[in-house]
Structures are given as C-alpha cells and as structure tokens.
Amino acid sequence: MAIGGNSFIPASLGLEILDTLGHGARSTIYLVREKSTTNRYALKRVIRNSSADQRFMDQATLEHDVAQQFNHPSLRKSYKVYRQKRFFRTREVLVLMEAVVGQTLEQRRPRKMLEVCRIFQDTAIALGVMHRAGYVHADIKPNNILVTDQDMVKIIDFGQSCPTGTRKERIQGTPDYIAPEQVKRDHITPKTDVFNLAATMYFVLTAQHVPTLIPKGSPGISLVDKLSHQCPSPIELNPDVPPALSSLIMNCLEPEPRERPESMTRLYERLEMAIGQVNSEARRKAQSSS
C-alpha cells in the first residue's frame, strides 16, 4: 500500500512511495512503485538546504554516472536522475535505482566459513568488473555489501567511486575501513578496494575493526603506518578462520599498496584456497568421528 508524502515527486514520473528504506548523509531512500507497470525501485532524494549540501548532491549524481559504466548482477543498477530546480538552481536530486531486498553485512554477519568465502568471492568478482571498467569503488564496508533474499551479493553506493589513479582533494572513506592512501590523498587504485575489502572481512570474521590511520572517534591522523602489525590476525581472534583466509586478509592490509595482492582475481583464487582448507578440515573431522 502506498504511503503519504508523494508531493515532492513530479506527477510526470508516475511514481508513488511505498515505504522509507533508510536515511544517509543529507538523503532519504524510498521504496517506490511505477504506477503504469507496478515495477518497484529505490528512489534516493537529496535536498540542497545550503551550499554545504552541494557535495552530497554531486555524490548522488556521481553514483548514477558510475553505475551506468557497467552491467553486472552484483553491482546495483541506477536508471535515471531527476533534477528539480527553483530560481534556476537545482534544489533536489532524485536518483531512481534498483530496489534491493536483503541485509547488509553490518546487519547480519555470516558465521559459516564457506558462506563467508563465497560472499567475498562474489564481491571480488563484482569489484573486478568495476576495475576493468576503469573505476574504483573506494568505500567498500559492511554496510555497502548486501546479501539479497535470493542469496545474491549486491554492492551498493558508488558515491565515492572514482576513476583509477584519482587523487582526491579531500579525505574520503569510512574511518574503520579506510586505506592509508585515502588518508594521505594519494592515488586511488584497485588496491584501495583490496584494503577496504580486507578490513570488511576482518570485521565480519572477528567483530573487531583493524586500526586505520583515522579510526572512528580519532581526533586526528595517526602517525603509525604499520597497520598490519597493530592488530592480531583473524585466526588469533577466531580459531575457526582457516589459515589461508587469515593470511590473505593480513596481506591485503599491508600499508603499502604494492605489497597487497595484485588484483581481485588473485584475491578470488586465494579465497578458493581457504575454501579448500575448510573442506579438508570438515573431512578430517568426519573421519575422526566415524
């Protein structure tokens, strides 16, 4: 059933709001229905109340532009951007996107090692598609990876994505998952996504965060660069983690990008090795109990 509050949607779009899905920085995301087809979408609304809000409007438009560069089932699709103007200035941006029904890895951390490995293999494949198209996501974190009700991985939020090699004017990223080069405003490359993804895997497996250069709540930038030596390995915190997976994560967290795995393809292959260890351990336990 549609809910009230459709007044901001131009009648020409033929959309009605069904529910509010969530809120972000200066934005609200709604579940909407197209009246002519009953198809359902997600609609992001960003309002400009002051000049400080302009960057959030720019990010919403960027998210759409980036999503247009690839077509993969694990990368959220974006269909249209609508700009609402008043006195010749854009006051609102509406982005019509694919509706995704599921839970983020922040909402539900998988516990079984095979499921963890599969989710991150699917994530690596999707990020590899972005990288081959010349883009870096640059904000991979548990809240930006969903597992749908059909058990599919879906990467969302391309608002901080950029072409490979970009040097940003200001620090962008999520403190508990941010890579050193993002803090230092150095070149953003696929290896930035490698670090962000490893920090995400670390959290999923241990419920703890790796120490980044600007951890959440930090008053400033840390002077310590040896991040991978500032925290225990995943297997030390969770003995169920296979050694190959623990080693992979610590390798991906190397402060120097050149020391990390060279690509998402290599990361996928090493996750396959971890799957082999999980299966071998399961067989060993089955034999010992028989």
The string of pLDDT tens digits covering residues 161-180 is 999 999 999 999 999 999 99
Contact criterion met (CB below 8 Å) for 155 and 74:
yes
Please, which pLDDT band fits residue 287 given cuts at 50, 70 and 90? confident
Residues of the chain with CATH 1.10.510.10: 102-282
What value does the mean pLDDT of the chain take? 90
Third-level CATH fold of 102-282: Transferase(Phosphotransferase); domain 1 (1.10.510)
Q: Inter-axis angle of helices 243-252 and 190-206, to 10 degrees?
A: 140
Three-state SS for 32?
A: strand
Q: Is the pLDDT of residue 87 over 90?
A: no
Query: Does the domain made of 11-98 have the CATH classification 3.30.200.20?
Result: yes
CB atoms within 10 A of CB 277: 16
The average pLDDT across 234-247 equals 96
